[in-house]
Structure 1
Amino acid sequence: MRRTLVAAGSFALLLGSATTAVAVEEDGTPDAPRVVATGLDNPRQLNWAEDGSLLVAEAGSGGDTCVALPEAPSGEEPPAEEPPVEEPPVEPPPAEEPPVEPPPAEEPPAEEPPAQLCAGGTAGVTAISDPEADEPEAARVVDGLFSLAGPDGSFAEAGSSGADGTDVPGQYIVVEGGPPPFPIPGITDLPGAETLGNLLVAEVVDGEQAVFPYVDFVDVEAEQNPDGAQLESNPFSILFVDPTPDGPAGADGYALVADAAANTVWKVQPDFAAVPEDCATGTPANPTACVPPFEVTVFATYPTVEGDETTPEFVPTSLAADADGNVYVGGLGSLVPGAGEARVYTAEGDAILTLHGFTGITGVAVEDDGSRLYVSQLFGSTPDFESTEPQGNVVAVDLADLSYRSVDVPFPAGLAVGDDGVFVSAFSIAPAEGLVLPGGDGTPLPDTGGQVWEISFDGVEPAPLPVAAAGEAPEPTTPDPTTPDPTTPEPTTSDPATPAPQDDDGTPDQGPGDAAP
């Protein structure tokens, strides 16, 4: 099974009304969502940058290069053709009887056009300055990254699904979704496709950007494969962690990456001490001197039981952290109703708590004090794929009394906690222009393009978390300290012999020369 959200695109997307809102009243009932930004291409993860802007990872909308999807190679020989069977001769009818007219030949059914995959440099990162203002401004800060999507630009399969800032001004870390499971001529050999499945470092100085690949998780998965299943990588979200926020920038930060296909959360730790202070002044120039080596270890992994073909896999999609450093991981649960989970870990990766009963988690956020967790459910708590209405919601979980509140948001993904509400990527599976009805004339439905909303849970009454498959949600569980952890694979370290992109003068192409995260 390919653990991505592309499978969701196979469902018939039927939208009767594109507007979803919470009732607006003057008697204390919930406020309506506020649209903060529109015109976004498949908006996914949200994160706060050091300068207070809200970062939006846009997976893009594919591009102008489209090819028909080939069938996946099976590795099996086609069956040998059977020799034709000779039919006995047909006796003609008696001469005195008129010949029987054969029935008219039936028209063969019209063949559906083959599915297509389109590629282009439409992914990137948008920064929304002062998103709580009445008229916030949004602008791309990282642009031109590789994207894969269908011809209508919806359900982007690969692109910038996750992004975060670092403690270095103007520096961003981005994860590109994994490559297709097999080569697709005309797509996977395009320039830029080599960045799929990578952690990219982008630096922006005076409006000029420099982007280079830092970690290839396809290679990391091939070396470690911590869940013991198929070799596959699809990085979906990223979180920059600064253990000493009051210390110097670029000193000890690291990244956590939720890899949906590898069923693992990776920890990427750069070794900043290994970078010489005069790295950019050597003669002759060393193209790798200013790029810190790194080590990739397993923060958390979710192995499947051998031979178990029924239990949904965890499939980590989303990350958040509170002020104490506790890490919250959202699991898609293979889109099975009630199989999604949110798991909580210490900063060291020790499991604390598991919250059950969610469906299709595509985003998590948490209050700084850890009092309330927010969870995006892409198709809502009880998906109905035959519905003609938009689906999806964001659930607020009070971690003290485990009460739940829910606000409808169409196809939500990334989340970020603000001063007055919660920001969420809405229509996260839509291109900027909007969604197109299957079988329609190709005109996008109004107000269905990728957006960011601000929502509030004030006045929303607590309610049980509905689970379609299993009734009430199971009680939260805490780990058994006597249960041994699965075998931890050897960490992956960077190869200092691998050259980094260079400027014309031979120095690393990374903006102002600050170290990568």
Structure 2
Amino acid sequence: MNRTIVVLAAGMIAAALVPGVANAGGAKVTTIATGLDNPRGLTFSLDGDLYVAESGKGGTDGCFAGPEGEACLGSSGAVTKIAKGKQKRILTGLPSVAAPAGTNALGPTDVAVKGGSLAITVGLGSDPAQRGKLPEAAKGLATLRTDGYRGLKTIADLGEYEATANPDGGLPDSNPTSLVVSPWGYTAADAGGNSLVGVGPGGHLFTVATFANHDGAQAVPTSVAQGPDGAFYVGELTGVPFKPGSAKVYKVWPGKEPKVFADGFTNIIDVAFDQRGNLYVLEIAKDGLASGGPPVGALIKVNKDGSHETVLDTGLTAPGGLTIKDNAAYISNCGTCQGEGSVVKVALKK
């Protein structure tokens, strides 16, 4: 399994966009939120409020040698609500692991809305057994949590499922990075486990699909969206050596082998559909994570014939998440930045 922490591969970088409006890559871009800590997945509620998961900035609960260097644990993960031109952290105190400078964090990775409650995936990026060697806050890593009227609670331990079920049969490694509401409850993409995992009533966990190695690298499925046809569409980062053009989007029907829906992408970090059923792909690094320098992302539209149309390929530095509403794409930008992350709105063609 992939032992490279997905977000850490981007390296330590600076903020990409100055608040305001710009024309980049032919699309109109507006910054609607700033000052975020390692922002990742986003979603809208039915009333039009936007929620974004912040992986936090680590903390002072103890530092240790992580896969990508020194890492410090804390409870700085959060969820921010953006509504009526204002932003506010509405959930705080979630687990977070980051470099000493607060960058390249692992913590809350995605957020979904179901029945008036928020559900949050929390990443890990290593063998789930490592949690037992760390301070108390680490217990919340590699879990799915919901925010009900009694507060936050863990409804599924995705790390434990990886350790016991080990869907793809490799070395234990869990890093839940994406979440979608499903007919049975929720479905999460585990980038570390190379798997798509269903979460049913009572926190029952089951394997929806696994993703095989190809082109000399692991799949590393970072994103999942449910299409208008009801199938799951899964985008992959691909592992080391992060070969440009090798990432694919798979179409998944539960109980069947994943089928390639579109290919030719580089390091996919998220996928989303618009109201017309068009698929959009967000690349964290359009030239590949091993190309050197700050990773420049790209937003790509996938046409019905499988061809690609670039919507935006400048102004995005290591973007972390994507959602679409009313002919606009909303992207969490600078997804590995402490205090300098943002959310940008990108106008789409009608």
Percent identical: 28
2:196 matched to 1:200? no
| Alignment equivalent of 1:232, drawn from 173, 181, 190 | 173
After superposition, where does 1:36-435 map in structure 2 within 5 Å?
Answer: 36-69=32-65, 115-130=69-84, 136-156=85-105, 158-167=106-115, 169=116, 171-178=117-124, 180-181=126-127, 188-203=133-148, 205=149, 210-241=151-182, 243=183, 253-270=184-201, 293-304=202-213, 311-334=216-239, 335-346=242-253, 351=258, 353-370=260-277, 372-382=278-288, 385-387=291-293, 391-400=296-305, 402-407=307-312, 408=314, 409-432=316-339
**Structure 1 counterpart of 2:3:** 2
The structure-2 alpha-carbon separation of the partners of 1:349 and 1:38, relative to structure 1 and needing over 3 Å to count, comes to farther
TM-score by length of 2: 0.87
> What are the superposed Cα offsets for residues 308-353 of structure 1, whole Å, 9 maximum, x if unpaired?
xx62111111111233322211111113322211112347766454
Letter of the 2:190 partner, please give it: D
User: Secondary structure, in 3 states, of the residue corresponding to 2:136?
Assistant: coil
Q: Is the 8 A contact 2:287 2:295 kept in 1?
A: no
Match of 1:442 in 2: none
**What is the rounded CA distance, in whole Å, between the counterparts of 1:8 and 1:368 in structure 2?**
32
Q: 8 Å contact 2:267–2:289 — kept in the other structure?
A: no
Residues 58-99 of structure 1: per-residue CA shift (max 9 Å, x gap):
1111013442527x8xxxxxxxxxxxxxxxxxxxxxxxxxxx
Residue 334 of structure 2 corresponds to residue 450 of structure 1: no
Task: Give the total of aligned pairs.
Answer: 344
Q: Which runs of 5+ in 2 are unaligned?
A: none
Q: 1:190 Cα deviation (Å)?
A: 2.0
* 1:69–1:184 Cα contact (<8 Å) kept: no
* Amino acid of the structure 2 residue aligned with 1:431: Q
**2:174 counterpart SS class:** coil
The structural deviation recorded for 1:458 is 3.8
Alpha-carbon distance, 1:129 to partner:
1.8
Question: Are the counterparts in 1 of residues 9 and 289 from structure 2 also a CA contact under 8 Å?
Answer: no
| 8 Å contact from structure 2 (residues 250, 261) kept in 1 | yes
Q: Give the aligned partner of residue 247 of structure 1.
A: none
User: After superposition, where does 1:449-488 map in structure 2 within 5 Å?
Assistant: 449-458=340-349
**Contact 2:270/2:322 (8 A) holds in 1:** yes
Could you tell me how far apart the structure 2 residues matched to 1:320 and 1:6 are? 20
Q: Partner letter of residue 38 of structure 1?
A: T
One-letter code aligned to 1:268: V
1:340-375, CA deviations, whole angstroms, 9 ceiling, x for partnerless residues? 1111234776645421121111111112342x2111
Give the distance between the partners of 1:34 and 1:22, measured in 2 at CA: 4
The one-letter amino acid paired with 1:298 is T
Partners of 2:162 and 2:237 in 1: CA distance = 20
Describe the SS at the equivalent of 1:336. Answer: coil
Distance across 1 between alignment mates of 2:52 and 2:41 = 6
Judge conservation of contact 1:22–1:31 (CA < 8 Å) in 2: no
Q: Which amino acid aligns with 1:364?
A: V
Contact 2:190–2:222 at 8 Å: present in 1 too? yes
Cα 1:14–1:411 shift into 2, 3 Å: closer
Structure 1: 5+ residue runs without aligned partners? 73-113, 131-135, 244-252, 271-292, 433-448, 460-517
Secondary structure, aligned partner of 1:33: strand
Q: 2:31–2:344: 8 Å Cα contact kept in structure 1?
A: yes
Letter in 2 for 1:226: P
**Would you say the 8 A contact 1:256–1:268 is kept in 2?**
yes
Deviation at residue 182 of structure 1 after TM alignment? 7.9
Is the CA contact (8 Å cut-off) linking 1:363 and 1:414 kept in structure 2?
Answer: yes
- Asked if 2 retains the 8 angstrom alpha-carbon contact of 1:405 and 1:457, the reply is no
AA paired with 2:43? N
State the secondary structure of the residue aligned to 1:61: coil
Amino acid at match of 2:206: T
Distance 1:401 1:342 in 2: 11
* Structure having the higher Rg: 1
Secondary structure in structure 2 of the residue aligned to 1:419: coil
Contact 2:124 2:176 (8 Å CA) reproduced: yes
Three-state SS of the structure 2 residue aligned to 1:220 is helix
Cα deviation for residue 14 of structure 1 reads 6.3
Q: Which amino acid aligns with 1:161?
A: T
Q: Is the 8 A contact 2:59 2:96 kept in 1?
A: yes
Q: d(CA) in 1 for partners of 2:275 and 2:28?
A: 24
1:180 offset after TM fit, Å?
Answer: 4.2
Aligned residues of 1:47 and 1:164 also touching (Cα < 8 A): yes
Relative to structure 1, the CA distance from residue 430 to residue 138 in structure 2 (aligned partners, 3 Å threshold; closer, same or farther) is: same
Closer/same/farther in 2, CA of residues 188 and 175 from structure 1, 3 Å limit: farther
Instruction: State the AA in 1 paired with 2:140.
Output: T
